Structure 1
């Protein structure tokens, strides 16, 4: 038999609350049934023994008074005390010291066909049992000393603090299940959002499972991811088409320039046209590279280390600096574990290092500093630097610092944009500040794996 399932989170919380409350109430109502201090039926074996004894007593040709006296003589033999009352509830013969106990019990149990028992302190009282004789009848109550302590779960009922703890223990499994039912789809949604933040635009069918509220949210989330994929694919197609359309006339322009040089010879005007055509082609290539970096790069992420990513690149940059009459030094590079796209990270640091070499007067330093859970990289030069008001803008595409607008300085304004995109895709941060020598210092902060 399959139990009905509640798909709504609201319904699950409501049902869990009432089910927990029902279990606690049933427990509180059921436990007193095992409490000897409450009125209970006499155990069947004890009841049968007493009934047999009463039948044998009834068959004796004795008066009621003699039968009562006989029972009292034998009560020590059976380790109990017997007390007798008439039909009106008045004591016959010697009264018992605990007269209030007998009065209370007699008011609760008065039918000899269904005798009861109840614990009063250390005395277990049971009865009534009918004693018959030719000259009348009486009710007999038996009292014996109770040595056993009450069960542990009954002792808990007498202590509210312990009762509260037991109630909490009983409700904990249900509440843990409720917490799991609520947080599991929330965790799946969180993990899916983290993937999107890393550029992993993939739909997850698991998001559409669980309570109906999360099913609807997961369906909307997957729809959003699908829409983002369509938008990015459209953007890629547009850039690809633009690139194709731009490169075709650009190629014709360079061919025309080459023909003009062949016919008319070299000239400043033709050289300038060729230079601008080359710069335009480089700009188109870098723009397409930036576009490709912003999508689908997550599929090439792998577990690697810092030395494997940057060591060879730094050696090449050191050689390039020497060729330009400058010096590049790096410090502290170790094989820290990284979960990364190696080509992207290598390109990111390479762009910053080459930019520093280009504008440095004499030296460039690259420092690696491993901190808890993150790696900090400082690339500093002793060049002219960047005005403080423009340091946040140098990572924008096509942005060129006012002091370096002259086309003779070269560049397309996309190198640092590519670096910023690569760092951001690795959940890192890149900032610019003034170096100790007055130049520019670019700081990249990346998460370490584990």
Structure 2
């Protein structure tokens, strides 16, 4: 079931799109939460630093602990610690604190809240002056420009919450160094992050469901023409009707181009099958005539030995043998037989196949080519046979090198080939009417074989008008360097 579900392009596309969006949402959500937390924590940190520095400034001015305004705020924990780590002042409602390094929330009794000094020093002053010397000016301290931060908790009026603490140092020449701790609540940060997380946990699944549904519908709509093509191809396969064509959508996209290419393939296949059927029918017809003639002669010879036409029987047998050889060569060519890469002299092959033919004049240079010597020789034989059948008295053969090509020209002084038929004569089993009346046994395969061999050797075979008015066949093959 799982394999069937994810075996379709639509299912895989939907799953891939959903996974990509899920990863993107997870990364974006994480980035948003981290940024939100960082901003709110920074805001709380700035508030804590501002509060700590305000208390430090008041302390540096020599203001007594009980008159420090920062100690009166209900929601902001504040601690003042001397250089020996003793708590000398704290917020009135502070019940518990962590994260500042000083867990005590009540000053010792010997710190009586006067000017930040201790009881022993104040008692000595009292002994020398009969009490506090109000005429003595308090010495101011120096507030450090640096601020340290930490995170902890504090309990104020029974409520425990998270805080961001800032610490600022104040140094006096006569009393030493004091550290002021002030905290800012992180409740806004916790609340905002929690709200954002809840929204994402609810919204992201809904968004993924929407993405999955939209992708499913879009891919279904996009792939529906493909399914139409598949159904039509299945119907064509079942009916074996190659005349049918698949529907082409009006989208001008890849699917439309696929449909066009499929129809072109079907058209080529239909043409190939039709050509094959026509080939089989023509071959059967061409084979039937010599076989019937040969059988008739043999039957007559069996009944009346004196009437046996041996020359006719031999001629029919030779015609059968030639036709069978042509059909076998065409079958090998259609099967994609490679011509080989043997190097040979095209001029020598032309002279060899023209030797002994009456009325044939050969002018051939030595031009090397590569391929099948036997197949190229068959091309020259077919061209010479065709020229001999249609010439009046003379056939001229020349072999020359022209640039990258080796060119063989075979010209006759016959009536030539009409321009409208110069391509049709290279089709299989095609013979012009005039040729049929003068044909001495040709089946209409010679020129078709010649062109197929030329093309498979990387060359061409064309027909034009000869200077003497007859047909001029030109065979071009790549020269072998």
For the superposition of Structure 1 and Structure 2, which TM-score range results when normalised by the shorter chain? 0.3 to 0.5
Bigger-Rg structure (1/2): 2
User: What is the TM-score when the length of structure 2 is the normalising length?
Assistant: 0.43
